[in-house]
Amino acid sequence: MADKLYDSIPSLDLDHFVNGTPEQKDAFVEALGEAYNNIGFVAIKNHGLTDQLQNNLYASIKKFFDLPDAVKQQYENPALSGQRGYIGKGKEHAKGRQTGDLKEFFHIGQVKKDPHTTYPDNIWVEEVPELKQYGKEIYTTLENTGRKMLQAIALYLRLDSNYFEDKVHCGNSILRPIHYFPIENPEEIPEDAVRAAEHGDINLITLLMGASADGLQVLRKDGKWIAITALPNQIIVNVGDMLERLTNNRLKSTIHRVVNPPKALMKTSRYSIPFFMHPRAEMSLSCLNGCITEENPKQYDDVTAGEFLDQRLKEIGLK
């Protein structure tokens, strides 16, 4: 497939895949595959989230991040390598960097019980009890949306539509409310500090609820950064490193970043809530046979999702 340069990311309607005619379903799969071959990002409508539920979660996470640092730190457990609860300001950095990102965040993990998985318990906030209800509802909704997206991806890869089902059932996914905190004295932060330095996501796919301010950019194949924006009724869904690895670079985990705002807006907050869809730890990320060709020989060693995650957590400073 010839490289295509987008000025903005493609918009698709998930309802065409879930409830559409066979022609609509096929068109969705092909358009998704083309976008993921080239830019790695799409905007999706009819994703299952209501405005009310999103507003409720945003209100509850703002309430949490407004708490004093000393209170928030009570919900931080260093033994969990940042996989549950609060992760403090500047703790995470992009792979290959040492300067921490200008953010703090909170992690909600798998909300369903499965006797065959051993995830740490979620950490809930006594001061914001509603965070538990809204966090669990959005986690479940985005997990279901992610399963539908993976069904379309499987069909594009000429696999059975249910290829990913058992691999993501009660998977190790993370819902991450992020607060890019105000910078009161910009001259006091490291010169190279940014809200989120350029990186690829670790997981299979990421589903991102609309952020509260501009700043997200994606690196196009020709080296140009383009702004990512979604309409109010859309979420962004992008390819992560695990899926790129599984497909032997056929689907692209595109580098992206969150840039600092203009100086006049440095004292304002930015919030966003990505859902990082991870498989179960035992899933093999060995390159799919159908993605290995003479022109594109196997690019990666065999590894499980759990091993890959462990390696990445060390590289980004959480472990």
SS (H, E, C) 152-217: HHHHHCCCCCCCCHHHHCCCCCEECCEEECCCCCHHHCCCCCCCEEEECCCCCEEEEECCCCCCEE
Nearest CA among 89, 41, 54, 284 for reference residue 167: 284
In terms of pLDDT, which residue wins out, 212 or 257? 257
Mean pLDDT estimate for the chain: 91
Q: What is the reported pTM?
A: 0.93
Closest C-alpha to 279, from 206, 208, 203, 207: 203
What order of strands is seen across the sheet that includes strand 256-258? 196-199, 256-258, 216-219, 225-227
What pLDDT is stored for residue 31 in this prediction? 97
Query: Is the model's pLDDT at 1 over the cut of 70?
Result: no
Lowest-confidence range among 27-31, 79-83, 156-160, 205-209?
79-83
Q: What percent of the chain has pLDDT over 70?
A: 98
In a domain, 1, yes or no: no
The total number of structural domains in the chain stands at: 1
On whether residue 3 sits in a domain, the answer given is no
In a domain, 162, yes or no: yes
What's the average model confidence in pLDDT over 247-263? 88
Nearest to 96 by CA among 223, 221, 192: 192
With beta carbons less than 8 A apart as the criterion, state whether 39 and 14 touch. Answer: no
Neighbours of 218 (CB within 10 A): 22
Residue 3 pLDDT class (50, 70, 90 cuts): low
Neighbour-count burial for 76-108, b at 16+ CB within 10 Å, e otherwise: beeebbbbbbbbbebbbbbbebeebbbbbbbbb
* Structure-token pair, residue 14: 């998930």
pLDDT of residue 172: 95
Domain membership flag for residue 102? yes
Residue 176: pLDDT band by 50, 70, 90 thresholds?
very high
The residue among 140 and 103 whose pLDDT is bigger is 140
pLDDT of residue 294: 93
Which percentage of the chain shows pLDDT scores above 90? Answer: 66
Res. 32: pLDDT tops 90: yes
Model confidence at 213, pLDDT cuts 50, 70, 90, reads low
Judged against a pLDDT cut of 50, whether residue 73 lies above it is answered with yes
Is pLDDT of 154 > 60? yes
**For residue 38, is it within any domain?**
yes
Give the orientation angle of helix 51-65 with respect to helix 130-156, to 10 degrees.
120
Amino acid letter for position 249: N
Nearest one of 268, 162, 141 to 215, comparing CA atoms: 268
**DSSP SS3 for 304:** strand
Radius of gyration (C-alpha) of the chain in whole angstroms: 19
The predicted pLDDT at position 264 comes to: 78
- Say if 5 falls within a structural domain: no
Residue 226, Cβ neighbours under 10 Å: how many?
17
pLDDT for 63 beyond 70: yes
- The alpha carbon dihedral of 78, 84, 86, 90 has a sign of positive
Residue 125 structural domain:
11-315
Q: What tokens were used for 280?
A: 């179960």
Residue 87 lies in a domain: yes
Distance CA 312, CA 160 (A): 29
Residue 234 has pLDDT above 70, yes or no: yes
The confidence band for 187, taking pLDDT boundaries of 50, 70 and 90, is confident
Other beta carbons within 10 Å of 139: 21
| 4 or 223, higher pLDDT | 223
pLDDT confidence band for 59 (50 / 70 / 90)? very high
Could you tell me which residues are beta bridge partners of residue 236? 43, 208
On the question of pLDDT at 246 being above 70, the answer is yes
Within-domain flag for 60: yes
pLDDT of residue 212: 56
Neighbours of 252 (CB within 10 A): 20
Q: What is the CATH number of the domain that holds 239?
A: 2.60.120.330
Q: Kindly state the tokens that stand for 319.
A: 């472990």
Q: Of residues 69 and 264, which shows the higher confidence score? A: 69
Cα 117 to chain center, whole Å? 22
